[in-house]
Amino acid sequence: MRYEIRRLDPWRCLVPRQGAMRVDGLIYADETLLAGILEDKAVEQVANVATLPGIVGRSIAMPDIHWGYGFPIGGVAAFDVGEGVVSPGGVGYDINCGVRLLATDIEREAVTGTLPELADALYRNLPSGVGSARTDLRLGARDLDRVLVDGAAWAVERGHGTPADLARLEAGGALDGADPDAVSERARQRGARQLGTLGSGNHFAEVQVVAEVYDEQAAARLGLTPGCLAVSIHSGSRGLGYQVCDDFLKRMLQAARRYGIELPDRQLCCAPVSSPEGRAYLGAMAAAANFAFANRQVMASWVRRTFEEFGFGPAERRITTVYDVCHNIAKFEHHEVDGRTRELLVHRKGATRAFGPGHPELPAEYRDLGQPVLIPGDMGRYSYVLIGSQGSSEAFGSACHGAGRRLSRAAAKKAARGRAVVRELEDRGILVRAAGMRTVLEEISEAYKDVAEVVRAVEGAGLARPVARLAPLIVVKG
């Protein structure tokens, strides 16, 4: 079905309610970005999400939207907690895939002579690749239960970071309501040796330089100094989260039939929020999200230890946490809809929170500033740090999570055939360390939209405002 699209302004397009849609769709994109979005089935997925029971407001798509499983990647949808549903496809397989940003006072010139050695050390200390595991951190059943409940705090209690880190993590690094008993034995087995690992696909750890600052005051508050290093860590809940999603997709498909929910796409399988199936999924999802928080906390600790090996200590004073955001999550939040505040279950899949100044869920030190919004680009160009704006309330306090793919992985590998991609990047001053060439080829810059264009749309729509641009120096890939 071809859906009608109306342009509201230079940055927003409306997909009017049509067919079985219960609400309108809203796409944040200028004309250039929209042309790319229309090349796949992402708009159809926006419309499909709008048919789900209890959806509130609009079915929303961010500028980095592209086709995904059930929900589009870059999709946001909020559901009434009494009449609405929860859908694993609205969270995704990599539960709480997210980004941790670390700021440093280390000037780029201080590592110029040792970049290859630093790249090797980071690759050694951050296990990457499919099925990667840590030999120094295998979790027993009791410890795994604590990770699933306590999240990043578990890691801090065991010497991986400090309590100051926790104050700068979304939700303090742990979601309430986690239920380890809802996590299958297979999921637990897959996660037991993967805490503190990057994984594969588009996951990475990057040493970056603060290349440009757009808001000096905000950048200083975040600890981002022009010419100094920063480190971004992009990873999630690894095999544990993947298995949780896989387990519940089967259960939710049966539940949707049992509750009489008509699905335009079986990948949107769901259950009422308050149903036994819905509560079980939310408990398992929160547990997987907490695993992801702990995972990034352990890796951040190893980044600090690696820099200490090169004489940049004491690392916990020189390398501070800026923020840590979730990309794939469903969270209970309060938002104003039609003039009144309501409790909603907000699904963000390939999207991040972008709360504006004054929001009570922000860390006290950032509350007057707004939430840091971390938008990675690709390994050959740049990433951005923004601050959430009040305008994000239209999108339930959300913004995009990255550049968004424009080529499938297969198409990217075809485009990179015959090229020495690692050498190309090295010639531009970017060192790559990876477990294999497959993911490097899949992640070439041409596979992604230009994140600068995506950020312009985010700013133009009033979702968030730019603070700094980060350029890659070292990229550790899965």
Q: Tell me the per-residue pLDDT of 245-265, one tens digit each, with 9 for 90 and over.
A: 999 999 999 999 999 999 999
Q: Tell me the per-residue pLDDT of 9-41, one tens digit each, with 9 for 90 and over.
A: 999 999 999 999 999 999 999 999 999 999 889
Give the separation between CA 338 and CA 45, rounded to whole angstroms.
25
Q: Tell me the per-residue pLDDT of 165-197, one tens digit each, with 9 for 90 and over.
A: 999 999 999 999 999 999 999 999 999 999 999
Indicate the SS3 state at residue 279: helix
Q: What is the radius of gyration, based on Cα positions, of the chain?
A: 21
Does position 338 have pLDDT exceeding 90, yes or no? Answer: no
> Which residues participate in catalysis according to the annotation?
401
Note the residue count of the chain. 478
Give the separation between CA 356 and CA 366, rounded to whole angstroms.
10
Q: What's the whole-number average pLDDT of the chain?
A: 95
Q: What is the pLDDT of residue 135?
A: 67
DSSP string, 364-377: GGGTTT--EEEE--
Pick the closest to residue 28 from 91, 77, 74 (CA basis): 74
Kindly list the structural domains of the chain, giving each domain's residue range(s) and its CATH number in brackets, ordered by start: 6-83+96-477 (3.90.1860.10)
Q: Tell me the per-residue pLDDT of 202-237, one tens digit each, with 9 for 90 and over.
A: 999 999 999 999 999 999 999 999 999 999 999 999
Indicate the SS3 state at residue 118: helix
The dihedral formed by the CA atoms of 100, 103, 306 and 159, expressed in degrees to the nearest 10:
-60
3-class SS string, 8-61: EECCEEEECCCCCCCCCEEEECCHHHHHHHCCCCHHHHHHHHCCCCCEEEEEEE
- Torsions phi, psi of 396, nearest 5? 55, 40
Pick the closest to residue 241 from 173, 195, 297 (CA basis): 195
**Residue 460 exposed, middle or buried by CB count within 10 Å (0-12, 13-18, 19+):** middle
50 alpha carbon, distance to own chain's centre: 22
The residue type found at 274 is S
Burial 406-438 (b: 16+ CB within 10 A, else e): bbebeebbeebeeeebbeebeeeebbbbbbeeb
* Residue 194 to residues 133, 197, 201, 234, 298, Cα–Cα distance (Å): 5, 6, 15, 15, 11
Pick the closest to residue 114 from 381, 321, 312 (CA basis): 312
The residue type found at 303 is V
Neighbouring residues of 302: CB distance < 8 A, sequence distance ≥ 6: 125, 126, 196
Q: Tell me the per-residue pLDDT of 270-329, one tens digit each, with 9 for 90 and over.
A: 999 999 999 999 999 999 999 999 999 999 999 999 999 999 988 888 999 999 999 999
Contact 286/176 with Cβ under 8 angstroms?
yes
Q: In the chain, what's the furthest Cα-to-Cα distance?
A: 64
> What tokens were used for 166?
């926790």
Contact 118/240 with Cβ under 8 angstroms?
no
Q: What is the pLDDT of residue 2?
A: 81
Contact 207/118 with Cβ under 8 angstroms?
yes
Contact 300/100 with Cβ under 8 angstroms?
yes
Give the separation between CA 391 and CA 388, rounded to whole angstroms.
8
Pick the closest to residue 376 from 452, 322, 304 (CA basis): 452
Does position 452 have pLDDT exceeding 70, yes or no? Answer: yes
* Between 134 and 80, the higher pLDDT residue: 80
Give the separation between CA 202 and CA 191, rounded to whole angstroms.
19
Q: What is the pLDDT of residue 127?
A: 85
Q: Tell me the per-residue pLDDT of 98-152, one tens digit each, with 9 for 90 and over.
A: 999 999 999 999 999 999 999 999 999 998 877 777 767 778 899 999 999 999 9
Q: What is the pLDDT of residue 105?
A: 97
* Helix, strand, coil % in the chain, rounded to nearest 5: 40, 25, 35
